[in-house]
Amino acid sequence: MSDTSENITVEISEPTVHDVFVENEPEPEAEHVAEPEREPEPEHVAEPEREPEPEHVAEPEPEPEPEHVAEPEPVTEPEPEPEHVAEPEPEPEHVTEPEPVVEPEPDNEITTESKDQELTVVTIQSNAPSSESELIETNEVSVPDLQLKPVPKYIFIVPYRDREQQLAFFKKHMSFVLEDIKPDDYKIFYIHQCDQRSFNRGAMKNIGFLYVKDIYPNDYQNITLVFNDIDTMPYTKNFFNYETTPGNVKHFYGFRYSLGGIVSIKAGDFERINGYPNFWAWGYEDNLLQKRVLNKGIFIDRSQYYPLMDKNIFQMKDGLERLVNRTEFDKYLGLTLEGISDIKGLDYNYDDETGIVNVTKFITGTEDVENQSTRYDLTKGNRPFGLVLQQRRTRGMGMMFR
């Protein structure tokens, strides 16, 4: 029996080995866990690949702004402008002008003034064209300092003689009246008749114009001349607008039938009407100036006009009296044409410190007749010989009133 039991033992041992390995083999089925292949789902995460959207960063395309660099092209265009730099060639001509000014030494200033006077006489006396050399020399020697300064907008021309107190007051008060105007924009010239003949107010105003023309030969026509009597001025500053235009005369004070007191006119227009008549004493020069202005079709602007004795205007008492001359009145009746063009033999010198133009010599179309001059009060009217005028008119009609 022992033999059979041994056989059974062998058969039991074999199955135990196979049982262990067979149970492990089924584990390969877990290979189906390959489901993580879903990892491709992260491919959707590739959506962030849209980050390439920064391709919109192509916004730097505005870098075409360098196209504005084309702006330098205009910079190249002005390069031809330097070619115009050749224009300064005339400037050396002006450089030559001051040279004669440097030549005279300070001690010779008086001498240069006398030369200036002689040259001025030549220019005024003759209507014939002077040589260019003469004109250039005259312009340089006259008042060279003024030529280097800006051309003023307004030049006040004030006829004057033997009224020192009025002159001092006028200077002080007008410095206040004009203090808001730039100093370079205006000048005041006092035209002083130095001889003992009857005062020729019209001639002094005409000589004032000739002096301005001599100083500013290229610009004088567009300068506004303000003819202002030395005894008449506004009380307050900025009261008058003196600026005028060609073809327009401004009348600020006086009589409506004459252009006296304070008047502004372009120098070009003043020259065109031949200025004032050169009446000795007070002889209707203001009346005749108005007739000349109207005859030339020039408009008289009285929008800022104030009549004689108006309280807005300061009028010195002795400024209301004038010397009148019967002979000059007769010239007025004949509507004489004399004026700027009839002034001859002119001799003057300029004092830069005082602004006075000292007129030492001049000749007009007629000579002064002193014994025919008498005093007249302007408050009585502007016709000192009114009765004589009426009688002459009635004679022409065959009637005579006594």
Tell me the torsion sign for CA atoms 85, 91, 93, 99.
negative
- 115-394 belongs to which CATH class? alpha beta
CB atoms within 10 A of CB 316: 16
Q: Which residues are paired to 245 by β-bridges?
A: none
Which comes out higher in pLDDT, residue 255 or 382? Answer: 255
To the nearest 10 degrees (0 to 180), the angle between helices 132-141 and 109-125 is 140
Q: What CA–CA distance (Å, rounded) separates 280 from 278? A: 7
pLDDT computed for residue 316 by the predictor:
84
Say whether pLDDT at 180 is over 80.
yes
Q: What CA–CA distance (Å, rounded) separates 43 from 315? A: 107
For residues 223-232, average pLDDT: 96
For residues 91-119, average pLDDT: 42
Token pair in block for residue 74: 């205009």
Tell me which range, 34-38, 197-201, 243-247, 319-323, is most confidently predicted by mean pLDDT: 243-247
94-103, 157-166, 217-226 — which is least confidently predicted? 94-103
CA-nearest of 312, 301, 315 to 263 is: 301
Whose tokens are 């149970």? That residue is 23
C-alpha distances in Å from residue 77, one per residue of 65, 83, 233: 21, 11, 56
pLDDT computed for residue 299 by the predictor:
98
Whose tokens are 């227009």? That residue is 269
Q: What CA–CA distance (Å, rounded) separates 334 from 143? A: 38
143-147, 164-168, 371-375 — which is least confidently predicted? 143-147
pLDDT computed for residue 335 by the predictor:
63
Q: What CA–CA distance (Å, rounded) separates 117 from 131? A: 17
11-25, 40-54, 142-156, 259-273 — which is least confidently predicted? 11-25
If you write DSSP's letter for every residue of 52-76 in order, what string do you get? Answer: TGGGGGGTTTTTTGGGGGGTHHHHH
Say whether pLDDT at 351 is over 60.
yes
CB-count exposure of residue 319 (10 Å: 0-12, 13-18, 19+): middle
For residues 63-73, average pLDDT: 48
User: What number of H helices and E strands is found in the chain?
Assistant: 14, 13
pLDDT computed for residue 189 by the predictor:
98
CA-nearest of 204, 157, 153, 208 to 183 is: 153
- pLDDT tens sequence across 290-314: 999 999 999 999 999 999 999 999 9
- pLDDT tens sequence across 252-273: 999 999 999 999 999 999 999 9
Domain layout of the chain by residue ranges: 115-394
Say whether pLDDT at 343 is over 60.
yes
Average pLDDT, the chain: 71
CB-count exposure of residue 304 (10 Å: 0-12, 13-18, 19+): middle
For residues 219-238, average pLDDT: 96
Neighbouring residues of 67: CB distance < 8 A, sequence distance ≥ 6? none
Say whether pLDDT at 63 is over 70.
no
